[in-house]
Amino acid sequence: MEQDDCPVPQSAGREDFGKLQHGCEHYRRRCRIRAPCCDGIFTCRHCHNEAMSSLSNPKDRHELVRQDVRQVVCLICNTEQEAVRVCRNCNVNMGEYFCDICKFYDDDTKKKQFHCDACGICRVGGRENFFHCEKCGSCYSTPLRDNHMCVENSMKSFCPICYEFLFDSIKDTTVMPCGHTIHLECFREMESQNQYRCPICSKTVMDMSASWALLKMEIDCTPMPEEYSHEVSILCNDCSHTSNVRFHILGHKCSQCNSFNTRRISTVEGQ
């Protein structure tokens, strides 16, 4: 055990001593963790993972399993000890929120942290505002209960834009209408770039009704020359229906759902 000469707070409110004054860019907390995988000391597992992922030797790169943490170092008195909420030496809360399962500390309780047994990790946002979807394998906000397309273990995958693992990401995520998940900021970046299709399944994930109406108007006002007047076979990315339509350079509308999110399969035989 390590201990320095830092004065131990003696006031009646000593548990709150240093609250919100310590930590890293990820969390406000009054302790650091000892990583059992490499025996290093870091403020949090994200700090550990960022440091380890930048090592020059790929064989040395690794991630910390949060549940494996056993030892922490108090940032107030520098005492190393078992992972508990209150420092055994100076009696401060090393984290206003503490999860004994995840060994997770955070002084900023405005996040409304809670532990989800089904997920096996801590979430933020308030338990009352989330439910666990067994098929998708993660917690979703209550408005999505019975109101989203389920995809098996959808959250236990990588964001299709930035490729960060979504399940335990500290960034906000969202569920697209097709059921696939993505970081909210990545989805907004897609919107800003007019990318309206899911990067995974190519289904339309935004309201394109106005765009489809405008495209239809342009097609109706732009007849194709006689030599291009033939039918082509198309597959709709939205409803998976195949149909034969008149070829047009601007786009092809699905005869089943009227979506222009289609792809050309081939020219109709004999044309």
CATH number at residue 233: 2.20.28.10
97 and 120 both lie in a single domain: no
Q: Which residue type sits at 254?
A: C
Nearest to 32, CA basis, from 89, 88, 99, 77: 77
For 101-112, write each residue's pLDDT tens digit.
999 999 999 999
Mean pLDDT of 261-266: 91
126 and 64 both lie in a single domain: no
Q: Is 11 a member of any domain?
A: no
The CA angle 270-239-261, to the nearest 5 degrees, is 75
Domain C-terminal end among 193, 225, 244: 193
For 149-159, write each residue's pLDDT tens digit.
999 999 999 99
The CA distance from 42 to 201, in Å, is 39
Supply the pLDDT for residue 229.
86
Q: Is 37 a member of any domain?
A: yes
Count of domains for the chain? 3
Q: Is 18 a member of any domain?
A: no
DSSP-derived secondary structure letter, 94: S
Biggest alpha carbon–alpha carbon distance for the chain: 91
Q: Is 100 a member of any domain?
A: yes
Q: Is 198 a member of any domain?
A: no
Mean pLDDT of 141-166: 91
Domain C-terminal end among 109, 128, 153: 109
Tell me which of 62-66, 135-139, 169-173, 190-194 is least confident: 169-173
Q: Is 178 a member of any domain?
A: yes
Q: Is 179 a member of any domain?
A: yes
Mean pLDDT of 196-210: 95
Domain C-terminal end among 109, 131, 147: 109
242 and 214 both lie in a single domain: yes
Band of residue 96 on the pLDDT scale cut at 50, 70, 90: very high
155 and 232 both lie in a single domain: no
29 and 86 both lie in a single domain: yes
Band of residue 267 on the pLDDT scale cut at 50, 70, 90: low
Tell me which of 8-22, 80-94, 156-170 is least confident: 8-22
98 and 48 both lie in a single domain: yes
Q: Is 200 a member of any domain?
A: no
| pLDDT of residue 168 exceeding 60 | yes
Highest mean pLDDT among 10-24, 27-41, 138-152: 27-41
Residue 249 sits in which domain range?
A: 208-264
Supply the pLDDT for residue 171.
87
Q: Which two tokens stand for residue 82?
A: 């078992």
Supply the pLDDT for residue 172.
86
Cβ atoms 6, 76 nearer than 8 A = yes
